[in-house]
Homo-oligomer: A and B are copies of this chain.
């Protein structure tokens, strides 16, 4: 399979290709040359050709890329042709923001439930998705296939909940708590470190002033 040899740098760039191609599709662009795509994305045309050659190359000489085809193929590579059952642990603002984001569902990430400890939130629903008592989490996960759990809870609780979820069979963790989770090797974790990005911003603002 071609996937095995792809460097993680290329993988990191794929969602960006997917976004740009999605925008082109929305604007009803049918085909694009690597030169035009390169100008839009501000990477070199040769970088684009190299990256896409990893997957056999979808371009045709003199024609360029068929936008819809390339969009769908990259989608498949990213696993976006499948459906993922997602639960959100922590139904505060951030958890609700995730449940409210319409693009996730469009890409196959279906938010099934939110869980929280706060009795004022439990029983409410966000875009039709129920907020359940965290006490029901174990039973839910054991009886329903959960592909991804998003953790939007304080860091002192995130590690324990993550390891519970993993012991109940969850293999995908989308972590928003400011902590590096240590989980078994067969679990996939993506952490969004909000405050790290803010600190990088203050660093570069400070550097600019000096």
Show the binding face of A for B, using Cβ within 8 Å.
1, 3, 11-12, 14-16, 18-19, 41-42, 77-80, 82, 84, 92-94, 96-98, 100-101, 103-104, 107-109, 147-148, 171-172, 174, 178, 180, 182, 186, 188, 190-208, 210
A193-B15 in contact (CB<8A): yes
Kindly identify which residue among B108, B198, B203 contacts A202, using a CB–CB cutoff of 8 Å.
Answer: B108
B103-A93 in contact (CB<8A): no
A97-B94 in contact (CB<8A): yes
Oligomer copy total: 2
B172-A188 in contact (CB<8A): no
Given A97-B94, A192-B197, is A202 in contact with B103 using a C-beta cutoff of 8 Å?
Answer: no
A84-B199 in contact (CB<8A): no
A75 to chain B, nearest CB (A): 9
A173 to chain B, nearest CB (A): 8
B-chain residues with CB within 8 Å of residue A197 when the two chains form the complex: 174, 190-192
